[in-house]
Amino acid sequence: MNTKGYGGSQLSKTIGVYTNDVKQPLVNLVVTGMVEKFATITPTRLIMRGLVNASVKGRVKIIPEKKYPFKILGIKAKNGKAIQFDLTDYREGAQEGFLLTVTNLRKEKGRYFDILTMETDSEIKPEITIGVHLIIEAE
């Protein structure tokens, strides 16, 4: 069962089980439970909009839950031609984590998409993915 995006909320799924019982060939089972949050990622996908010759940047905060601490070991872009990225440590009050800064490299009008994959040292979630959408408009 994929629980991505459900962290911190209750999830229910109905599962149909086929049996060899003539009176009840199909039994529906309901699985319900709380999905624990691994990290708070704000925003969950990055949408950047700007003009052709302007500096267009976006930031994503990644705050690990205290119960599931992790480090980010590396980042790679699926395409990597339209963006540049940088990861720094982040601290604000009691919150500690990472700040991912993404910068547009494109100088042409258009819409671009990439996926950043961050490798973690966690056995629970070895990868975190962030979708990056760029909308570059003419001046």
The residues spanned by each domain of the chain are: 1-36, 39-137
* pTM: predicted TM-score of the whole model, two decimal places: 0.80
Banded model confidence at residue 46, pLDDT cuts 50, 70, 90: very high
Beta carbons of 15 and 100 less than 8 angstroms apart: no
Question: Smallest Cα–Cα separation from 117: which of 126, 107, 105, 108?
Answer: 126
User: What pLDDT, on the 0 to 100 scale, is given for residue 9?
Assistant: 85
User: What pLDDT, on the 0 to 100 scale, is given for residue 107?
Assistant: 87
Average pLDDT of every residue of the chain: 92
Percent of the chain clearing pLDDT 70 (strictly above):
100
User: What pLDDT, on the 0 to 100 scale, is given for residue 60?
Assistant: 97
Average pLDDT over residues 73-83: 93
Select 39-137's CATH number: 1.10.10.10, 2.60.40.10, 3.40.50.620, 3.40.50.410: 2.60.40.10
List C-alpha distances in Å: 51 to 38, 81, 136: 36, 18, 5
Q: What is the pLDDT of residues 108-131, one digit of tens each?
A: 999 999 999 999 999 989 999 999
Give the burial class of 77: count Cβ atoms within 10 A of its Cβ; 0-12 exposed, 13-18 middle, 19 or more buried. middle
